[in-house]
Amino acid sequence: MLTAGEPAGLDTVSVGPLPSERFILRHRFESPIRFDCQGQARPGLATAWSSDSSGRSWTLVLERDGVAAADLVSEWRARGSALSALRWAGVEAMVPLDRQRLVITLRHPSATVPPVLADTSLALPTPGDGEVVLDLASHSGEDPRDALDRGADLVLTDDPAVVEYAANRLDLLTVELPWSRTYLLLIPDGSSIGLSIGADSAAFRAAVARDAVRGAARAAEPPFWWEDAPRCGRTPDPAVARQRPSGAIVYPLRDRTARELAERIVALSHGVTAKGLEEADLAMALAAGGERAYVIPIPRQVLVPCRDLAGWPAGATLIPLIDTRSSLVVRRGVPGLTVEWDGSVRLEERR
């Protein structure tokens, strides 16, 4: 829990420009479970859960006055994103026992409640009764510092200039959030960029974190979730195989940190250039695997590893570079916030 002084009883919290999608989803939608900052499962739509002796069948007990189990299953089946997440996670069947109880059967046993149940693709809108309203429009497009001057109550940022500005304000509290993102250098099978890292890859990562990027960064630290990911069956998409590669190190066009990393790697390599791509174009290029290399940001922790790996070319070399995190700037008097397992934050309800 984070608190910024005595809550001022606000009915509306004004959010600064470009809040993370995760923040908006966590405030307005509820998944069956959630994970706290220690990785412990907490109730969401489900108030309790248990497994049978095999670990393959898990029974969820939903809120008494919440959505019915049959309606929840129908909603998931109607959503492509939800159905995809469940399938990638190895869910083979969903059977409502009655209004409150739902049994989920897995392909393989699990000793803990299936993490996919915390995925936002399975979330439903929260009732809104007693919640603080988020105002997302007031400061759209503004410099975060101007937004704070004009009364924004909450700003999520990775810009060190904004953090420094807020640190000198007595009416604001600045909190560093957990490390939540890893930047990865992905080199497709058979490709080479002439980069010599040597035996001490930790020293290379530390140098990149120290010298190549602005903002809070550290050398990427294990464990790396993709190293322990289960075997995932993937079917190549013939549409992406026809994409023509540029032969560059590509990165997300609007990601400053990715650009800085790509430019540093180009400087250390031989005969390569850096090229930014829009999100949709980058996804297609990554799936095709025809570029020389890719610098991509990925979550440090994921709920459905097979889903995340599905968009990567098979057999690629994966070199973790740096971890980054954001900072939260909160105006004193804002209601309490909860930090969750992936570094996102959620406004606590006031009831």
pLDDT at 147 over 70: yes
Q: What is the CATH number for 162?
A: 3.40.190
Same-domain check for residues 229 and 285: yes
Range with the poorest average pLDDT among 87-101, 102-116, 193-207: 193-207
Write the DSSP string, 220-231. --S--GGGSPPP
Q: Higher-confidence residue: 142 or 249?
A: 249
- Residue range of the domain that includes 310: 181-324
- How does pLDDT run across 6-20, given as a tens digit for each residue? 766 677 888 888 667
Same-domain check for residues 318 and 331: no
- How does pLDDT run across 198-245, given as a tens digit for each residue? 556 788 899 999 999 988 999 999 999 999 887 786 555 544 554 555
Same-domain check for residues 55 and 149: no
Same-domain check for residues 135 and 257: no
Q: What is the CATH number for 107?
A: 3.90.76.10
pLDDT at 349 over 70: no
Same-domain check for residues 117 and 228: no
Residue where a domain stops, chosen among 97, 122, 147: 122
Q: Encoding tokens for residue 52?
A: 């049978």
| 104-118, 122-136, 337-351: range with highest mean pLDDT | 104-118
Beta bridge partners of residue 183, listed in sequence order:
297, 322
Same-domain check for residues 314 and 293: yes
Same-domain check for residues 137 and 12: yes
Q: Per residue in 173-195, is it b (16+ CB within 10 Å) or e — as a string?
A: bbeebbbbbbbbbbbbeebebeb
Q: What is the pLDDT of residue 233?
A: 67
Same-domain check for residues 139 and 111: no
Cα dihedral value 134, 139, 143, 148, nearest 10: -70
Distance CA 293, CA 283 (A): 13
Q: Encoding tokens for residue 297?
A: 């940001």
Q: Higher-confidence residue: 102 or 125?
A: 102
Average pLDDT in the 245-274 region? Answer: 90
Average pLDDT in the 277-292 region? Answer: 94
pLDDT at 296 over 60: yes
